Amino acid sequence: MPSESPRVSRLEPYLARSEPAPTLLKMLVGVQLAGIREDAGLAQEQAARAVGFSPAKLSRIEAGKGRRPPTERDVRALLELYGTDGHEASVLLRLLGRAGEPGWWQRYDKRLLPEWFDRLVGLQEAAVAIRTFEIQYVPGLLQTPAYARAVVERGLPTAPSREVERRVELRVRRSALLRRTAPPQLWAILDESVLLRVLESREVMREQLAHLVAMAALPHVTVQIVPLDVTNASSPAIPVTYLRFGGLDLPDIVYLEHIRSATFLEDRDETEEYRVTLDRLADEALDPRASLAMLRETLDQRYRTP
């Protein structure tokens, strides 16, 4: 009897996940299909042409993009073309089925969750490590409800109160991943101006900084501050989130947020550039212990209870 494919042995544990992870599973299915195609000696364009797809369609499938996973019919056609082993094909099709189960965030109104934001939340849920740099606000995963409300109201000043509350609820729900049994490692680098910029009120800021102090004490959360007096810091002009998935043949992904859209970078050369930038920023920032001391000092001196 032939030995089981290492690819299959790595995938089978994901069938037993208690929580749906559609973004992760779409990516896994896509990466495995790309690997099987390459093992079969077919270029992407050849394979697409053989099953009647456009190269762009097969590229999307292999990248795990889009709100929905590919259809079972499309995946079966590819597996048959590649001459995939029956057991391996079965595992991939079962993963595909689970990729169709909605994540908790996908139960929200799509107006609150455009496709690019849907993808970000799904990637954060799947990541084993998240690195982020913020120059204006506390990172979303570390925001208190009151601070999150102030951020939403500032960005959407004409939004009705019901929409604001739903957006705050969604943002707070996202942070629950830091409290789960196996949380990702979160490494957040903040410009000092984030601590000084008052959103809504000093009471809101006091609560937010106290929350940052508490979160920074967790073993899987690292917070560093880039002081204002650091000249020529390697700070990007926009927020950056770097996601790593670990041991799954998945590429690192960089998320760059814009006002009404976002960019996802997956090319290794591009993501490596941002990894190096974040490394430099971490070197230029206060170390975690000194950053925690600055948080406490700012909380005590600037936001002290009267």
Instruction: Report the CATH number that the domain containing residue 14 is assigned in CATH.
Output: 1.10.260.40
* Last-in-domain residue among 39, 68, 100: 100
131: Cβ contacts below 8 Å, ≥ 6 apart: 187, 188, 189, 241, 242, 244, 275, 278
* Last-in-domain residue among 100, 127, 143: 100
Residue 247 clears pLDDT 80, i.e. is over it: no
Instruction: Summarize pLDDT for 162-183 with one digit per residue, the tens.
Output: 989 998 998 888 899 999 888 9
Q: Are residues 23 and 126 in the same domain?
A: no
How large is the average pLDDT for residues 238-257?
86
Q: Domain residues for 144?
A: 114-303
Q: Are residues 36 and 135 in the same domain?
A: no
Q: Are residues 35 and 149 in the same domain?
A: no
Residue 150 clears pLDDT 80, i.e. is over it: yes
Q: Are residues 151 and 76 in the same domain?
A: no
> Where does the pLDDT of residue 120 fall: very low under 50, low under 70, confident under 90, or very high at 90 and above?
confident
Q: What are phi and psi of 203, to 5 degrees?
A: -65, -40
pLDDT of residue 248: 66
Domain count, the chain: 2
What percent of the chain stands above pLDDT 90? Answer: 49
How large is the average pLDDT for residues 20-27?
80
> Where does the pLDDT of residue 20 fall: very low under 50, low under 70, confident under 90, or very high at 90 and above?
low
Q: Are residues 119 and 256 in the same domain?
A: yes
Residue 2 clears pLDDT 70, i.e. is over it: no
Mean pLDDT, the chain, whole residue set: 87
> Where does the pLDDT of residue 1 fall: very low under 50, low under 70, confident under 90, or very high at 90 and above?
very low
Q: Are residues 148 and 265 in the same domain?
A: yes
User: How far is Cα 120 from Cα 8, in angstroms, rounded to an integer?
Assistant: 27
pLDDT of residue 87: 86
The pTM (predicted TM-score) of the whole model is 0.84
How large is the average pLDDT for residues 244-253?
81
Higher pLDDT, 111 or 178: 178
Identify whether 107 is part of a domain: no
Identify whether 59 is part of a domain: yes
How large is the average pLDDT for residues 176-198?
92
Residue 209 clears pLDDT 60, i.e. is over it: yes
Identify whether 105 is part of a domain: no
Q: Are residues 81 and 184 in the same domain?
A: no
Q: Are residues 271 and 128 in the same domain?
A: yes
Instruction: Summarize pLDDT for 48-73 with one digit per residue, the tens.
Output: 999 999 999 999 998 888 778 899 99
CATH of the domain at 258: 3.30.870
Identify whether 106 is part of a domain: no
Instruction: Summarize pLDDT for 250-303 with one digit per residue, the tens.
Output: 889 999 988 778 899 988 899 999 999 999 999 999 999 999 999 999 999 998
pLDDT of residue 202: 93
